[in-house]
Amino acid sequence: MELRTAATVSDFLHLLGASVWVGGLFLIAIVTPVFLMTGASNARPGELATLLKRFSPLAFASAGTLIVTGIFSGYMQVTIPAATNTPYGWTLVTKLILLVPLFGLAAANSYLVSRELLRSGATSLKRFVRIEALAALLVLAAVGWLAGLEPARQFAARNGIGVEEEVTFSEFAEGANIDTAIAPGDVGANSVTVTLTDRRDVPITNAIDVRVRLKFLEDDLGEPLISLVDTGNGVWTGDEFKITIGGVYQAEVRVIRPDAFDARTSFRFDAAPTAGAADAIRPTRTVTWTLFAIELLAIGLIFIAVGTPVLKRLVPSLRPMILPGAAFSVIGVALLLNAQVFRSGFPEERFNPFPVNSASIAEGSVAYAATCSACHGVTGRGEGPQAGELSSPPADLSVHVPLHSDSSLFGFIRDGIPGTAMPAQLGLLSEDEMWHLVNFLRTFEQ
């Protein structure tokens, strides 16, 4: 499942809402003068009132759908606030401004119908309906203009609007502030700078080695840890880092000092192809699916509100709206409660959802002590107290861990290794604990 699935569904709902509301509005603008013509049957105004009362709940549901789907679409096409300062962004702002009087006129027309002013001439109703139809035409004109413009996020990315020139991250680990900068953080040649300071921002100058790895998370490319060059005053640099494929990367930093434990930290960034600069600003999976879930839940609640006679006196023909409303709500709640969607994007992505940092390593060390150290030993070299009792000697983790990807290590922990004494930990450790354990195992790398 990709982001385009959510975007396609949202666009369909947006188009459906606009078709029902604006299409129905144009029809009413045409037939209202006919129903209220001088000399018309006395039953005509009453029939028009019935038509409008039936249409008002549909218009309310459609307008609500337009609002929530419009918010989602705005995020997908604009993504960052800085991208508003683009042709697409300003046209979108114009569309939003035009929607304000359109909603106001719709509310006024609904008030006229609810007060049954049709019986006293309905001159105001005819005028408001025509003005509302005109406002809808202006909104459609803005929408048509939007369709011919490049999405704001792409225009902004190509012109450097809101795009950082480097990727930066900072974390405090083992008594050291580790400030990391990757420039430019895109496909191609990259330089990495790591600055070490203590709690008082005084440079740490006694580090023996600082190693960095830019690890592609969507596949195992076997990237090695590369030692940086000490340029003095706590600053370490390296310019031999080359990113060959676009995607999500994890920058892993290891600081080796003689007077402290090795400090490890990591962070993730999205490397965009240089040739695809227009795609440098992209919606994130977490935000996209969160908004989509909220969108479906909101639409469901709107449909239920419109279709429930307890909340509002509605015609019986609208009561079936409760069923699709409930369906939308259930799907929205299910997505919101799906923690895997928010943590790593989608269940089929098997890269580690937790970056390597001090918190994750601490969690993993607890799991290691409880399930692994008895065989693999404290140092991971296979010298645990129960190692001699096993049918096959436990692996030296300092040798084997660097040979496998995170997903492979996760599989070994979860399912065990057939033909060896390595048991499955499924049922003993949670999925999160297994991923934290994978991060801790990385500390055994040489």
- What span, in angstroms and rounded, lies between the C-alpha atoms of 429 and 441? 15
Residues 309 and 376 in one domain: no
Residue with tokens 């010298």: 383
pLDDT of 331: 66
Whether 352 is covered by a domain: the verdict is: no
- What span, in angstroms and rounded, lies between the C-alpha atoms of 354 and 334? 23
Residues 143 and 252 in one domain: no
Q: What is the pLDDT of residues 52-89, one digit of tens each?
A: 777 777 778 888 888 889 999 989 888 888 888 888 88
Is residue 180 within 8 A of residue 253, CB to CB? The reply is yes
Residues 143 and 33 in one domain: yes
Residues 318 and 367 in one domain: no
pLDDT of 311: 47
Residues 175 and 157 in one domain: no
Question: How many CB atoms are closer than 10 A to CB 129?
Answer: 25
Residues 135 and 236 in one domain: no
What burial class does residue 228 get, using C-beta atoms within 10 Å of its C-beta: 0-12 exposed, 13-18 middle, 19+ buried?
buried
Residues 330 and 427 in one domain: no
Residues 98 and 157 in one domain: yes
Q: For residue 94, what are the domain limits? A: 1-163
Residues 99 and 12 in one domain: yes
Q: What is the pLDDT of residues 234-249, one digit of tens each?
A: 999 998 898 888 778 8
CA dihedral (279, 280, 282, 285) positive or negative: positive
Residues 40 and 138 in one domain: yes
Is residue 157 within 8 A of residue 177, CB to CB? The reply is no
Residue 350: which pLDDT band, with cuts at 50, 70 and 90?
Answer: low
pLDDT of 352: 81
- Average pLDDT rounded to a whole number, residues 138-159: 82
Q: Regarding predicted confidence, which is higher, 427 or 45? A: 427
Residues 132 and 173 in one domain: no
pLDDT > 60? residue 106: yes
pTM of the model: 0.58
Q: Which of 254, 274, 294 is the last residue of a domain?
A: 274
Q: Cα(first)–Cα(last) distance of the chain, in Å?
A: 38
Residue 356: which pLDDT band, with cuts at 50, 70 and 90?
Answer: confident
Residue with tokens 């580090």: 207
Tell me the sheet residues that pair with 254. Answer: 211, 264
Q: What is the mean pLDDT of the chain?
A: 79
Residues 130 and 3 in one domain: yes
Is residue 177 within 8 A of residue 199, CB to CB? The reply is yes
Is residue 415 within 8 A of residue 431, CB to CB? The reply is no
For residue 299, the SS3 value is helix
Q: Considering its fold, how many domains does the chain have in total?
A: 4
Region of 19 on the Ramachandran plot (φ > 0 left; ψ -120 to 50 alpha; else beta): alpha
String of DSSP letters for 29-58:
HHHHHHHT-TT--THHHHHHHHHHHHHHHH
Q: Which of 216, 241, 274 is the last residue of a domain?
A: 274
Whether 353 is covered by a domain: the verdict is: no
